[in-house]
Structure formats: structure tokens, C-alpha cells
Amino acid sequence: MSLPESAPEALAPAQLAAPGGVSPHDARNGALAALAAYLLWGFLPLLFKAIEGAGSVMIVAERIVWSLLLLAGILAFRGGFGDVRALFADRRRALVTLMTAVLLAANWLLYVWAVETGQVLEASFGYFINPMVNVAMGMLLLGERQNKLQTLSIGIAVVAIAIQAVGLGSVPFIALGLALSFGFYGYFRKTAQLGPASGLFAETAMLAPVALAYVIYNIVTWGPGIHADPMSMTLMILTGPATTIPLLLFAFAVRRLRLTTIGMFQYLAPSIQFVLAITVFGEHLNGLRLLSFALIWLSLAVFSYDSFARRKRVVATPVS
């Protein structure tokens, strides 16, 4: 799963309401768009599982190529190539974008490999802890100070990670890798100052030469393989829309909803992945791992309650 860089950090559920100046109709459409985006992200493992025979590296390579082609069509229709050209003309922003592109590719590769190897439970755990990783990064990298409830939520998350490690019998590298790669992706991505479509286009454009070379090399060396099967090839092409459509839906929703409202949807995707891992993929959930999930849900509940309470205080404060 690849969430957009503007995704909120585990904000609390709030009453469905739009930012100032947005009509209830637009707010409702924004909520539907957010719901659709997180549902698509939640069910993404089913697509990757259906083409797991291609291997995680090939799937990510094709995902990059097909995403680039789709994004090129979208930018040609809507405009946006000017932003991309401005980025490539700015050496600093181009280097930052190259860094985010590498982090994005690493996140995609680790996630697809987790699905391929039957570790969707741990992948969902990674996205559950991602909000806490964002908070910890704010403390360590930006010097942000947290209140007691936020500190408590981070402490509970740390205990949950430790219990997850005991339940797995090793450090949960997939969960930590997904959370950290996406956390740093969001951290650096904000400095590039690009919209979702143009930003993702720039990143995939940087990755595309390597991805396309890998696909061509494999076809020339080993034959067409999965590309010779029309159904598998269709599913491979769908990795492009499966990447870009949720991102665009999310961008649509963010302009029409409060971040606190968006936050109520954020846990939907890893929750769906959690259920899929147990019911569809047959992954085993032992007592210790279940306890770790229970603790991370408690951590998120504490953090969400604090976010909701702080927002109520801000709304209730009279403007002088």
C-alpha cells in the first residue's frame, strides 16, 4: 500500500463536516471518495496475491511502468507537466524527489513481498503503527513536544511492537520497514511541494528507466512468462490504476473534508488487510500477536481521543 504524503497522522474521528466554504454536498462526496480510497487500499493484497507468480520485483517494476503511463495521460488531460518541469529544473527538489522515489519503491517492494510470502498480518501491523512512527519522527527530527496522552500512546505502541517481536520470534522487520519507509517518505515528500498526481509522476519517472530495463531483461532472458497469459497481464496492467486512483480519490477528499474526518477512515485499510490475512490467506494469529494488535489499537484509541479532545478545545475557544 502506498498512501499519499498528505495523509493525516491518526487524527481522531470527528463529526462529518467540511472545511469552511465547502457545501454539505461536497462534504458528502469527499467522504465517499475517502471511503473508496481506503477500501481500494485495503483490498490491494488480493490483486498482488493473484499475480504473485510474477515475483515481487517484477510486480513493482510493472506497477511503476503502468502508473507512469496512466499519470502521463492524467497530467496531459488536466495539466501539470509544468510543475514537473519546474521540479526537474530545481536541483535540490529533484534530489529530494529522487530520495522519495527510492523510499516509495522500497515501501512497495516490501509490501508486495509481504503479500507474496504470506505475511499480510505483519504488513497490516506496520500500517497500524505508522501514525505512532510519524509522531516519534516529529519528536526526534522536528523537536515537537508531545503531551502526556500522546507520550502514553507512543509507549503503548512500543510495548506492542516488543510483544509482536516475541510472537513472531524475531524483530518485525516488515512492519517496521513499512512504517519507517512510509514515514520518511512523507517527511521528505512535503519539501518537494508537488501535488499528488504530478509528484507521483515525477517519482515514477525517475524509477521507470530501471523498472522498464528490468522487465525487458527478464522477458529477453527468460521468455514472456506471466506476460503470455492474458488474464495475468490484465491484472498486471491494473496495478497502475490500483496505485493512482486511490491517491487521486484521497486528494479529492482532502480538499472537501476536515483532517479529523479523514482520520476516521485511516484505520480502514489495515483493518481490511488484517481480516483478509486471517480469513482469506489463512495466516495464523497466536495469542501474543493478538495481544500486540490489541495494544496498538489501544494506542491508536488514546492518541485519537487526545486529538479529538484538543480539536474540541480549539473549536470552543472564542476568537478575540
Note the Cα 240 to chain centre separation in Å.
15
Q: What is the structure's pLDDT at 167? A: 82
Question: Residue 21: which residues within 8 A CB-CB, separation 6 or more?
Answer: none
Q: What is the structure's pLDDT at 159? A: 92
Q: What is the structure's pLDDT at 154? A: 82
Q: How far apart are CA 88 and CA 94, in angstroms?
A: 5
Q: Is the pLDDT reported for residue 49 higher than 90?
A: yes
Q: Is the pLDDT reported for residue 9 higher than 50?
A: no
Q: Is the pLDDT reported for residue 312 higher than 80?
A: no
Q: What is the structure's pLDDT at 12? A: 33
* In contact, 196 and 248? CB cutoff 8 Å: yes
Q: Is the pLDDT reported for residue 274 higher than 60?
A: yes
Average pLDDT over residues 73-100: 90
C-alpha cell at 90: 530545481
* In contact, 53 and 232? CB cutoff 8 Å: yes
Q: What is the structure's pLDDT at 226? A: 87
Q: What is the structure's pLDDT at 14? A: 35
Q: How confident is the model at residue 153 (pLDDT cuts 50, 70, 90)?
A: confident
Whole-model pTM: value is: 0.84
Does residue 48 sit in helix, strand or coil? helix
Average per-residue pLDDT in the chain? 84
Q: Is the pLDDT reported for residue 240 higher than 50?
A: yes
Average pLDDT over residues 112-138: 88
* In contact, 174 and 122? CB cutoff 8 Å: yes
Most confident of 77-91, 200-214, 239-253: 200-214
Q: Is the pLDDT reported for residue 275 higher than 90?
A: yes
Cα dihedral sign, 15-19-23-28: negative
C-alpha cell at 223: 521468455
Q: Is the pLDDT reported for residue 16 higher than 50?
A: no
C-alpha cell at 37: 480510497
Q: How confident is the model at residue 319 (pLDDT cuts 50, 70, 90)?
A: very low
